[in-house]
Amino acid sequence: MATFQMSPQTHAVPMALFRKNRQKVCEALKSNVAVEKGSFVLLEGGKDVSFNDTDTNYLFRQESYFQYFFGVKEPDCYGVLNVDSGESILFVPRLPEEYATWMGRLLSLDEFKSMYEVDRVLYVDELPTFFEKASPKLILTLSGLNTDSGLRSKPATFEGIEKYVVNCDLLHPVVAECRVIKTPEEIEVLRYVAKVSSDAHIKVMQFMRPGRSEFEGEAVFLHHSYAVGGCRHTSYTCICGSGTNSAILHYGHAAAPNDKAVKDGDMCLFDMGANYCGYAADITCSFPANGKFTEDQKFIYNAVLDARNAVLKEAREGVSWVDMHRLACRVMLQRLKEGGMLQGDVDEMLAAGLAGTFQPHGLGHLIGLDVHDVGGYLPGQPERPSEPWLSKLRFARTLQAGMYVTVEPGCYFIDILMDKALADPNLNKFIVKDVFERFRSFGGVRIEDDVLITKTGNENFAIVPRTVEEIEKCMAERED
């Protein structure tokens, strides 16, 4: 059985996983009345990308849809599926002889066939001849909107494709919907990369202390994920915020590169996820830099933890994700009220959109081959809510068994949002100003888990300390 495996100690991903994905898509296409007999799927893999105008390249990562179908680690490939028969044909670049000198031995077509368990392997320059012989009634290429990025996937092409009937719109919603429900084989990869990421987070929590820099924590995460877990990639840029930086939702980018020195009394919010064989983890841990929560830190942390616990108790097949977001916000506002920061009726707070002041993002997102995975706002699914405090939700679907989602409630004190709330009479009537202002330099708390939805509940793949007591105990075990 062919597998992808970084070492004997890391997870072996069977190529059967990708074969099952291909079969799943073919069956979905055959049940689609718009797909006639004699149709073929044509996909283009990711390309090597040079670093600006230099002769070095960015570290290659396969295009996600191509990874879903083929699990191929090499760039510049194409793939074809015969929808009727399910036959899979991988097209690899015909490399020059000197490749062997600089890059390694040239693999034969039979070796590629065995390595990826496809039915046939040809060279990319044989695509035109292949389709001449196949005489397809329809070629399905992939083009569709990613509702998280706003960008469109680019359809595959080859010289002479204009001679055939081509549809670049029909395939995308079908494949995206197939990716929403994970197979048992995919679930095991996701379980593995979440465990690697969880263990790395624990290492970071035990390493961090006042005087160390945010990027040092990032380095600990990256080292464990790769050295122990075989995860060469992360799923996104690591977010390692401390103090007020913990209230910057996507901190860690090039202009803010996790470069602050951590101070005594800071709250740390570290959002990091490893990536294995293209599959993502996305876990956030929030903890005090010195290992001991202050009363104010406990107050905010437990408000978020209670919101998270409420969702994990209720999330299962048949439940609306929008309702889960509302539940998390209601619980958090109630806890903030009980702690003296808010006053008034919680349902009225929700109706006024006050929750968006504290949590401007959605409860979570689908996750899989992309950290913000596809399937959020496909045709036939609920549209994005229009209310401002709900509009950032990355999907609004009813949960189904086999969906894999993040649950990530948060509470942040962001100057611009605090100022807007205080200036808005519809919101400031709920705010106890002196308590609210006390937290202006607090930063934020997020608790993010990776959760598999089942028919009767859910399974949390993030295995990290979550209660105040668990976190303090974990951090007390750190080594100097």
Residues identified as active-site: 55, 250, 271, 282, 361, 365, 372, 408, 412, 446, 448
- In whole angstroms, give the CA distance from residue 296 to residue 439: 8
Alpha helix (H) residue ranges in 316-445: 321-338, 346-352, 355-358, 415-423, 425-428, 433-438
Q: How far is CA 291 from CA 396, 399, 409, in A?
A: 37, 37, 22
- In whole angstroms, give the CA distance from residue 480 to residue 474: 14
DSSP annotation of 153 reads: P
The count of C-alpha atoms lying within 13 angstroms of the C-alpha of 290, restricted to the half-sphere facing its C-beta, is: 9
Closest CA to 290 of 439, 477, 480, 472: 472
In sequence order, the 6+-apart residues with CB closer than 8 A to the CB of 324 are 311, 314, 315, 363, 399, 407
H or E element at residue 134:
helix 127-134
DSSP annotation of 20 reads: H
Cα-based torsion angle of the residue sequence 45, 180, 10, 57 in order, rounded to the nearest 10 degrees: 30
Closest CA to 124 of 26, 41, 45, 18: 45
Closest CA to 405 of 322, 474, 467: 322
Measured from the Cβ of residue 137, the count of other Cβ atoms closer than 10 Å reads 15
* 18: helix, strand or coil: helix
- In whole angstroms, give the CA distance from residue 424 to residue 406: 32
